[in-house]
A and B are shown apart, each in its own frame.
Chain A
Amino acid sequence: MSTDLAEKTHGGASVASYLASHLRDYGMLLALIAIMAFFQVITDGTLLKPVNITNLFLQNSYIIIMALGMLLVIVAGHIDLSVGSVVGFVGALAAVMMVEWQWSVYMTIPVCLVVGILIGAAQGYWVAFWKIPSFIVTLAGMLVFRGASLWLLEGQSVGPFPREFQALSTGFIPDLLPFIKSIFGLQRMNGLAVVAGIAIAAVLVWLGMRARTRNKAYGIEGEPFSFFVLRNVLVAGAIIFVSYKLSTFRGLPNVLITMGILTVIYAFLTESTVLGRRIYALGGNQKAAKLSGIKTERLTFLTFINMGMLAALAGLIFAARLNTATPKAGVSFELDVIAAVFIGGASMSGGVGKIVGAVVGAFIMGVMNNGMSIMGIGIDYQQMIKGLVLLAAVIFDVYNKNKSA
């Protein structure tokens, strides 16, 4: 009781002390906010212009989608180096199917996703059932599929694609609620985007409050109330702000919807399902998991199949964005994806990491890419800075871990 009282009277202090003790959980989110603020100032407000926010999503969607799968792979205690090459290969395959074989878009997309699943299965088989280190299997895959995309495209660029296919990446959801625009008397405003933003923010707050009440009923000690309010106000505010900005440009990008839905699904999967729990146990202590009746081999196999499918989806989105398939597509994407997951707090040894963390990590990389490009910083410095940020993020994580232990 006395602590409750202290919380109420010293709201500000408790936020600060709670944050200090949970720096590991919120550190990267704070870093993202700081990085965005920095670039917002330094680029004279270009970063958060509607067109640039839209671009940020388009540019990073495929990295984020792959980061969802990579998080599972890394939590399971493995790594997948082949995803960049798979992006290139699937893009090339889709191009050959649509441009050379004249396949329809609706046939190409499912077939390409199945190919991704097969690629994941082919690699996961050796890792899971033969216990061959994933680093080696996927390093081989990286070379094989890079070569395969060169071979498929015969070294050429193949394009352009049908409009429906491009819509995968550069399409926008039409404004289904045009009357909202007229209510506000504005020329350019996508009513759907604003309503969706407000709705999502409301759902998030509601879910947060429900969880908090439930935790309280079970006597689980949570964050201080003032912190809870502050966090929700910030998150809801950010979502509404972004959706408003998007609404004044072209509305909601299709790819944002895909990404958003996938993020929610994978966050749910990892946090609230038996399958997710088992993946964490597998990465945390494989032997203990196995002796607890978990089919560890099959689970590892599944994480690679899932990664293959998401890499294929990312490959389709990336090809659609460029409107052409090139043999170089996806080069070094695996590094961005892996970096995103580690910046997001995942552990190299497995068992630790969160979907939200991986998405935040991907945005940190994405915002830095975008911001530095706007500033006109050369690719040389960009790479160096990104490398140091990755190192700093992991050092920060390890430091906080040691401090708490």
Chain B
Amino acid sequence: MSTLLRMQNITKTFPGVKALDSVNLEVNAGEIHAVVGENGAGKSTLMKVLSGVYPYGEYEGQILFEGSEARFSGISDSEKQGIIIIHQELALVPLLSIAENLFLGNEVASRGVIDWQETFRKTETLLRKVGLREAPTTLVDKLGVGKQQLVEIAKALAKEVKLLILDEPTAALSEADSQALLDLLLELKSQGITSILISHKLNEVERVADRITVIRDGTTVSTLQAAKSEINEERIIRDMVGRDMAHRYPERVRSIGEVLFAVKDWTVYHPEHAERQIIRKACFHVRKGEIVGIAGLMGSGRTELAMSLFGRSYGQNISGEAHLHGKPIDVSTVSSAIASGLAYVTEDRKALGLVLDETIQKNISLANLEGISRAGVLNEAHEQTVAEGYRQAMNIRTPGVYQKVVNLSGGNQQKVVLSKWLFTEPQVLILDEPTRGIDVGAKFEIYGIMNKLADEGRGVLMISSEMPELLGMCDRIYVMNEGALVGELAAAEASQERIMSFIVRS
């Protein structure tokens, strides 16, 4: 078996972070090679290096494709060589037909005039190859996600693919669609197409992969071979996790009280597709002074759960009960949720948390303008005192509260968001990926703030994709998968392996 692709000692640094550190990846011609690792381990970065999103020169190391060194300066370069990547978010134009999408940027045309007959003929051949029975003129919009995924693959085949890269292809698919897709991958393999499969779902990987490369913290941990029967869940999980976690989290003396916040049978449907259940009968509680984590993969419904609880900001046909101190509370609008004592720190702080072009002061007061006004008239002097107080308490590093938040670093921006919510005097804080995109030092500070909030007797619910962070911070962890809470672990019994096994086995 010959080697199709060899990535040698790939190192990629971003300002302040080493995303990839001497990663090696070797893919043989005609195999299905899986790349697995936790969120943030560096899988996507590696694929971006391979496909030319990060062009030659922005990384160190060497890429050998078909025996010669490849120096891609963009995606179009790698595509010309036959390396085609299908991203998690599909890149189809919804209001164009299947045929138009397949040949987008690669049109069957002479002198700019499209030959529709030839286009349709080729489309039909390709659709047959991927087993999709749809007319070439059908709009992509009308297809379900599973079929759209097949269109993406057909699009790759239209470009005479040599190496097909699929980034979490089954993340959004139903069980049946996932099986069909995996069958297609095996079928393509028999036709001689090599593919790289990036996936969290270890049962899928186990089923189709010939070899697996495990990446952890930006380095290659191991390459496992099916032929040597090295591929099994326990082995993969062990390689994926397991790192030194000492002293990355501030110490805290726990004093946990009675149940503060409780949610019962919380059910939410998709905002557009009323029949799709996104959250299934979620039940959980947070005690006074407790930090509770929700673990799960991206797309498992954690953010949707939080947003639907916070003033129905996501979904429709929401049912279930929310209690604070044992009494039902109204969370039907954002303002009533805030008034009830909830606060939600969003995952995407730039798009959902901050008014970037405004000052720190105006951002901090935004959720509680009543607190700095009388009869609707603002008291800006008081506002400034409040903002200045938080600037010092939170250690927001900036010359003054008149700075625009757009100029702050991620960590400082997050402190502004936290200040905003603390000013509403919440009893329960829901923190959605509170340390995403924040450097290590600022993370430690955010953890410290979280501990302080718990010490003050508030309840903290923390959503995170970084398992070590959940294990390091939480008193209790719920595991979420496909919209349901599938497991609950106390801090003492929690481990990455146990969380992972809840996810992969549910």
Q: Which residues of B contact A218 (CB under 8 A)?
A: 381, 384-385
Contacting pair B310 A291 (CB below 8 A): yes
Q: Which residues of B contact A278 (CB under 8 A)?
A: 369
What separation, in Å, do the CA atoms of A180 and B351 have in the docked complex? 60
Of A235-243, A269-277, A338-346, A372-380, the segment with at least 4 beta carbons within 8 Å of chain B is: A269-277
What separation, in Å, do the CA atoms of A285 and B377 have in the docked complex? 22
Q: How large is the interface on A (under 10, 10 to 19, 20 to 34, 35 or more residues)?
A: 20 to 34
Contacting pair B352 A274 (CB below 8 A): no
B338 contacts which of A214, A274, A293 (Cβ < 8 Å)?
A: A293
Contacting pair B366 A292 (CB below 8 A): yes
**B340 CB, nearest partner CB in chain A, Å:** 11
Q: Which residue of B lies closest to A218 (CB)?
A: B384
B346 contacts which of A274, A284, A291, A293 (Cβ < 8 Å)?
A: A291
Contacting pair B402 A220 (CB below 8 A): yes
The answer to whether residues A274 and B366 also contact, given A287-B351, A287-B352 and a CB cut-off of 8 A, is no
Q: Which residues of A contact B369 (CB under 8 A)?
A: 274, 277-278
Contacting pair A273 B352 (CB below 8 A): no
Most buried by A among B310, B357, B381: B357
**B404 CB, nearest partner CB in chain A, Å:** 9
**A75 CB, nearest partner CB in chain B, Å:** 12
**B266 in contact (CB, < 8 A):** no
**B416 CB, nearest partner CB in chain A, Å:** 11
Kindly identify, within residues 344 to 381 of chain B, every residue whose CB is under 8 Å from any CB belonging to chain A: 344, 346, 351-358, 362, 365-367, 369-370, 373, 376-378, 380-381
**B383 CB, nearest partner CB in chain A, Å:** 9
Contacting pair A220 B335 (CB below 8 A): no
Q: Which residues of A contact B365 (CB under 8 A)?
A: 277
- Residue-wise interface mask of A (257-299) relative to B, using a CB-CB cutoff of 8 A (1 in contact, 0 not): 0000000000000001111011011001101111111110000
The answer to whether residues A351 and B355 also contact, given A291-B310, A291-B334, A292-B334 and a CB cut-off of 8 A, is yes
Contacting pair A292 B420 (CB below 8 A): yes
**A352 in contact (CB, < 8 A):** yes
Q: Which residues of B contact A295 (CB under 8 A)?
A: 333, 335
Contacting pair B335 A293 (CB below 8 A): yes
Q: Which residues of B contact A288 (CB under 8 A)?
A: 351-355, 366
The answer to whether residues A275 and B362 also contact, given A218-B381, A288-B355, A293-B338 and a CB cut-off of 8 A, is no
The answer to whether residues A274 and B344 also contact, given A214-B381, A218-B384, A285-B356 and a CB cut-off of 8 A, is no
- Residue-wise interface mask of A (339-367) relative to B, using a CB-CB cutoff of 8 A (1 in contact, 0 not): 00000000000011000000000000000
What separation, in Å, do the CA atoms of A275 and B400 have in the docked complex? 25
**B410 in contact (CB, < 8 A):** no
**B311 in contact (CB, < 8 A):** yes
Contacting pair A293 B377 (CB below 8 A): no
Most buried by B among A285, A290, A292: A292
- Residue-wise interface mask of B (325-343) relative to A, using a CB-CB cutoff of 8 A (1 in contact, 0 not): 0000000011101100000
**B398 in contact (CB, < 8 A):** no
Q: Which residue of B lies closest to A219 (CB)?
A: B400
A-B contact count (CB 8 A): 85
What separation, in Å, do the CA atoms of A280 and B356 have in the docked complex? 12
Number of interface residues of B (CB under 8 A): 35
The answer to whether residues A292 and B358 also contact, given A220-B402, A272-B380, A274-B373 and a CB cut-off of 8 A, is no
What separation, in Å, do the CA atoms of A278 and B334 have in the docked complex? 15
Kindly identify, within residues 46 to 105 of chain B, every residue whose CB is under 8 Å from any CB belonging to chain A: none
Q: Which residue of B lies closest to A296 (CB)?
A: B334
Q: Which residues of B contact A290 (CB under 8 A)?
A: 313, 334
Contacting pair A277 B344 (CB below 8 A): no
The answer to whether residues A277 and B378 also contact, given A220-B384, A220-B402, A351-B355 and a CB cut-off of 8 A, is yes
Contacting pair B357 A352 (CB below 8 A): yes
Contacting pair B378 A272 (CB below 8 A): yes
Contacting pair B376 A273 (CB below 8 A): yes
- Residue-wise interface mask of A (210-235) relative to B, using a CB-CB cutoff of 8 A (1 in contact, 0 not): 00001000101100000000000000
B367 contacts which of A214, A274, A293 (Cβ < 8 Å)?
A: A293
Q: Which residues of A contact B357 (CB under 8 A)?
A: 284, 351-352
What separation, in Å, do the CA atoms of A352 and B400 have in the docked complex? 21
- Residue-wise interface mask of B (125-148) relative to A, using a CB-CB cutoff of 8 A (1 in contact, 0 not): 000000000000000000000000
What separation, in Å, do the CA atoms of A287 and B311 have in the docked complex? 13
**A214 CB, nearest partner CB in chain B, Å:** 6
The answer to whether residues A273 and B335 also contact, given A292-B366, A352-B357 and a CB cut-off of 8 A, is no
What separation, in Å, do the CA atoms of A280 and B346 have in the docked complex? 20
What separation, in Å, do the CA atoms of A278 and B370 have in the docked complex? 11
Most buried by B among A218, A277, A295: A277
Contacting pair B376 A275 (CB below 8 A): yes
Contacting pair A285 B378 (CB below 8 A): no
What separation, in Å, do the CA atoms of A303 and B354 have in the docked complex? 22
**A221 CB, nearest partner CB in chain B, Å:** 8
What separation, in Å, do the CA atoms of A292 and B352 have in the docked complex? 9
Q: Which residue of B lies closest to A276 (CB)?
A: B378
Q: Which residue of A lies closest to B346 (CB)?
A: A291
**B400 CB, nearest partner CB in chain A, Å:** 8
What separation, in Å, do the CA atoms of A289 and B354 have in the docked complex? 8
Q: Which residue of B lies closest to A280 (CB)?
A: B358
Contacting pair B311 A281 (CB below 8 A): no
Q: Which residues of B contact A294 (CB under 8 A)?
A: 334-335, 366
Which residues of B are in contact with A by a Cβ distance under 8 Å? Answer: 310-311, 313, 333-335, 337-338, 344, 346, 351-358, 362, 365-367, 369-370, 373, 376-378, 380-381, 384-385, 400, 402, 420
Which residues of A are in contact with B by a Cβ distance under 8 Å? Answer: 214, 218, 220-221, 272-275, 277-278, 280-281, 284-285, 287-295, 351-352
Instruction: For the complex of A and B, list the 7 residue pairs with the smallest distance between their C-beta atoms, beginning with the closest.
Output: A284-B355, A293-B335, A292-B367, A274-B369, A293-B334, A285-B355, A293-B338
A-B contacts, 14 listed (Cβ < 8 Å): A274-B370, A275-B376, A277-B365, A277-B378, A281-B355, A281-B362, A281-B366, A285-B351, A288-B351, A290-B313, A290-B334, A291-B313, A293-B338, A294-B366
